C-alpha cells in the first residue's frame, strides 16, 4: 500500500493536465480504488470513464470528507476550507516522490527553472541511459513512473504550488534565485519563500543542495538542509565546485582537479542570470560524475527554450528578442542587463499581481533604454517608478493596447544597430491567453512587419 494513496476511495481535486495524469496512474496502479473528481469548472462532463462521481461548480469540494484520500492539484490552494475535512490530503507530486524507485533531482526558484531543468536533463541524458524530464515544466511526473528502475534519473522542475505541501525532498535540490512572485496565491513573500523551503525539509546527510550564493532567500533555505551545501559560484564548495570569472566557467572535480570548462562566449544562453544557472547545472552534473568534456559538449549543443530571451529576428538593422516568460521585475532587469547597454526599446507591462516595480524603475533610468512601450495595467506603475527614480528622465513613454501597436512603434522608434526586447515584468492574462500567446504574437508581428518594411 502506498504511503500517499490510502483507503479504497480517492477524490481528485482539480482535473487539469495533472489531474488527468493522476487519474490514469491510479486506475492503472490501484485498479480496486474508486476514483471521483471535483473541479470548479461547471462544464466538466458529468460522466468520465472509470470515474464514480463528478462534482463541479462553486461548491465542488463539498464531498471531501467522504473520501479516504484527496489528491489536490497544484493550482488549488491547500488552505481552502473544504480541505480541512479531508482524512488524508496529498498531491500528485507526493505520490510521485513516494513511489519513485530512482533518483530525483529537483529544481526550484522564481525564474530560470525551466531552462535550468532542461539544461540539466540535456547534460545527463547524453551520459546516462534513462533520464526523464518531468514536473512543472509541463510534463506530469506520474505519467513517467512506469518501467522506471533504481538507476532512472528524474530531473524535476518544482513550483511553489507543488512544494507547498510536499512531504519528501529530492536527492539533489537546486535552489535558483528567489524573488517576489505568486503573491496573490501565497498571500505574502514570507509564505512564498516558506513554500519554496520545503524542497529541503526532508533531506538527509547523504543529500545535496546547490544554491545561488548571491540570493539571500536561496541561501537561507539551503543552510536549513541536513544535506551537503554547495554554493553555485564558489571555489571553496565541497565536494565539487563551479564558478565564473567573467570570461569562462571553471570547475573543481571530486578529485580536486581545477580546470577551465567553457568560455562564456560559447554559451547559447544569454545574460548573467543564465551564466549563474548554467553554473548550477554544471555542479549537478559533477555530482552525478559526468565527465567535464561531456558537460562542455552538452552545454554547447543546448537549444534555449521558447519565450526566454529568444531571438525573434533582425530586421532593418534592429535586433528583436522575445522574453515573454519574464513575468517579474527581476526577470526583466536580467533581460536588460544581458545585452550590455544595447537595448533602446523595451516593451513591458501587463496584468497587475501587486508586484513592486521600484527596483526596475531605478535600473531602467541607468540603462540605455530610450523608449518604453507599456501595456496596461502595470505599464503606468512602471512609468511611475522610472519617473520617481529620475524626475528629469528623457525616456519616451508610450501606452500601447495590443501587440500590433507595440511592434509597429518599436520599428518606428528603435534606432538601427540597437535592440528591442519584449520583457513584460508582468503576467499576461489581461490582454493575452498566456505568456506563450503573448510571445508568439510578438514573434509573428516582428517577422510580418519586418518583411513588409524590407520589401518597401
pLDDT tens digits for 154-178? 999 999 999 999 999 999 999 999 9
Residue 82 inside a domain? The answer is: yes
**Whether residue 323 sits in one domain with residue 282:** no
Using CA of residue 231, residue 232, residue 237, residue 239, what is the dihedral sign?
positive
Measured from the Cβ of residue 219, the count of other Cβ atoms closer than 10 Å reads 17
Using CA of residue 225, residue 226, residue 232, residue 237, what is the dihedral sign?
positive
SS3 203: coil
Residue 202 inside a domain? The answer is: yes
Residue 2 inside a domain? The answer is: no
Answer whether residue 313 shows pLDDT above 90: yes
**Whether residue 191 sits in one domain with residue 128:** yes
Q: How far apart are CA 195 and CA 166, in angstroms?
A: 9
**Whether residue 251 sits in one domain with residue 172:** yes
pLDDT score, position 307? 93
Residue 165 inside a domain? The answer is: yes
**Whether residue 125 sits in one domain with residue 74:** no
Residue 137 inside a domain? The answer is: yes
Mean pLDDT of 291-315: 94
pTM for this entry: 0.85
**Whether residue 202 sits in one domain with residue 169:** yes
Residue 3 inside a domain? The answer is: no
**Whether residue 236 sits in one domain with residue 118:** yes
Per-residue pLDDT band for 185 (boundaries 50, 70, 90) equals confident
Phi, psi angles (nearest 5°) of residue 12: -90, 110
**Whether residue 326 sits in one domain with residue 396:** yes
Per-residue pLDDT band for 344 (boundaries 50, 70, 90) equals very high
Which grid cell is 208? 545535496
**H-run or E-run covering 195:** helix 189-197
Domain housing 59? 9-92
pLDDT more than 90, % of the chain: 84
CATH number at residue 251: 3.40.1190.10
pLDDT tens digits for 60-85? 999 999 999 999 999 898 889 999 99
CATH number at residue 416: 3.90.190.20
Q: How far apart are CA 72 and CA 95, in angstroms?
A: 11
Answer whether residue 1 shows pLDDT above 70: no
SS3 317: coil
Per-residue pLDDT band for 233 (boundaries 50, 70, 90) equals confident
Q: Which of the listed residues 241, 275, 301 is the one where a domain comes to its end?
A: 301
Place of cell 501565497: 186
**387-406 as b/e, with b when 16 or more CB fall inside 10 Å?**
eebeeebebebbebeebeeb
Beta bridge partners of 421: 321, 346
Q: Which of the listed residues 301, 328, 355 is the one where a domain comes to its end?
A: 301
- CA–CA distance from 224 to each of 113, 194, 195, 218, 238 (Å)? 21, 12, 14, 10, 17
Q: Are 192 and 109 in contact (CB under 8 A)?
A: no
CATH number at residue 74: 3.40.50.720
pLDDT score, position 379? 97
Answer whether residue 180 shows pLDDT above 80: no
Residue 413 inside a domain? The answer is: yes
**Whether residue 429 sits in one domain with residue 388:** yes
Residue 1 inside a domain? The answer is: no
**Whether residue 79 sits in one domain with residue 169:** no
Which grid cell is 152? 532512472
Q: Which of the listed residues 92, 112, 128 is the one where a domain comes to its end?
A: 92
**Whether residue 233 sits in one domain with residue 194:** yes
**Whether residue 168 sits in one domain with residue 69:** no
**Whether residue 338 sits in one domain with residue 265:** no
Per-residue pLDDT band for 91 (boundaries 50, 70, 90) equals very high
Which is higher by pLDDT, 110 or 401? 401
Report how many domains make up the chain: 3
Q: Are 282 and 302 in contact (CB under 8 A)?
A: no
Answer whether residue 336 shows pLDDT above 80: yes
Residues in the chain: 456
Amino acid at each position: 500500500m502506498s504511503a500517499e494513496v490510502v483507503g479504497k476511495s480517492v477524490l481528485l481535486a482539480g482535473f487539469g493536465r495533472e489531474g488527468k495524469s493522476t487519474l490514469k496512474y491510479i486506475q492503472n496502479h490501484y485498479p480496486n480504488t474508486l476514483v471521483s473528481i471535483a473541479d470548479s469548472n461547471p462544464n466538466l462532463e458529468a460522466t468520465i470513464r472509470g470515474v464514480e462521481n463528478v462534482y463541479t461548480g462553486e461548491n465542488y469540494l463539498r464531498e471531501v470528507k467522504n473520501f479516504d484520500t484527496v489528491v489536490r492539484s497544484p493550482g488549488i490552494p491547500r488552505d481552502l476550507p473544504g480541505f480541512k475535512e479531508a482524512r488524508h490530503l496529498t498531491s500528485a507530486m507526493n505520490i510521485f516522490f513516494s513511489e519513485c524507485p530512482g533518483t530525483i533531482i529537483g529544481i526550484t526558484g522564481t525564474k530560470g527553472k525551466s531552462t535550468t531543468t532542461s539544461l540539466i536533463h540535456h547534460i545527463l541524458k547524453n551520459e546516462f541511459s534513462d533520464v526523464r524530464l518531468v514536473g512543472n515544466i509541463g510534463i506530469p511526473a506520474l505519467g513517467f513512473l512506469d518501467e522506471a528502475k533504481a538507476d532512472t534519473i528524474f530531473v524535476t522542475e518544482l513550483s511553489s504550488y507543488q512544494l507547498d505541501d510536499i512531504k519528501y525532498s529530492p536527492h539533489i535540490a537546486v535552489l535558483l534565485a528567489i524573488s517576489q512572485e505568486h503573491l496573490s496565491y501565497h498571500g505574502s513573500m514570507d509564505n512564498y519563500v516558506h513554500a519554496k523551503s520545503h524542497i529541503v525539509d526532508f533531506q538527509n546527510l547523504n543529500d545535496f543542495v546547490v544554491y545561488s550564493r548571491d540570493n539571500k532567500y536561496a541561501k537561507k533555505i539551503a543552510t536549513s538542509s541536513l544535506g551537503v551545501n554547495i554554493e553555485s559560484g564558489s571555489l571553496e564548495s565541497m565536494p565539487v565546485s563551479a564558478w565564473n570569472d567573467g570570461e569562462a566557467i571553471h570547475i573543481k572535480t571530486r578529485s580536486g582537479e581545477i580546470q577551465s570548462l567553457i568560455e562564456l562566449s560559447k554559451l547559447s544562453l544569454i545574460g548573467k542570470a543564465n551564466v549563474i544557472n548554467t553554473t548550477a547545472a554544471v555542479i549537478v552534473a559533477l555530482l552525478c560524475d559526468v565527465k567535464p568534456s561531456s558537460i562542455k559538449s552538452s552545454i554547447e549543443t543546448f537549444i534555449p527554450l521558447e519565450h526566454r530571451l529568444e531571438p525573434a529576428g533582425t530586421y532593418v538593422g534592429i535586433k528583436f528578442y522575445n522574453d515573454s516568460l519574464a513575468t517579474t521585475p527581476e526577470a526583466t532587469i536580467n533581460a536588460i542587463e544581458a545585452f550590455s547597454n544595447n537595448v533602446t526599446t523595451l516593451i513591458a507591462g501587463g496584468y497587475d499581481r501587486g508586484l513592486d516595480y521600484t527596483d526596475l524603475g531605478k535600473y531602467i533610468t541607468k540603462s540605455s533604454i530610450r523608449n518604453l512601450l507599456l501595456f496596461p495595467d502595470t505599464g503606468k506603475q512602471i512609468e511611475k517608478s522610472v519617473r520617481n527614480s529620475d524626475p528629469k528622465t528623457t525616456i519616451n513613454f508610450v501606452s500601447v493596447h495590443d501587440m500590433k501597436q507595440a511592434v509597429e512603434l518599436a520599428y518606428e522608434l528603435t534606432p538601427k544597430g540597437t535592440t528591442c526586447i519584449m520583457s513584460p515584468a508582468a503576467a499576461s492574462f489581461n490582454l493575452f491567453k498566456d505568456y506563450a500567446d503573448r510571445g508568439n504574437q510578438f514573434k509573428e508581428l516582428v517577422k510580418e512587419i519586418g518583411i513588409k518594411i524590407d520589401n518597401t
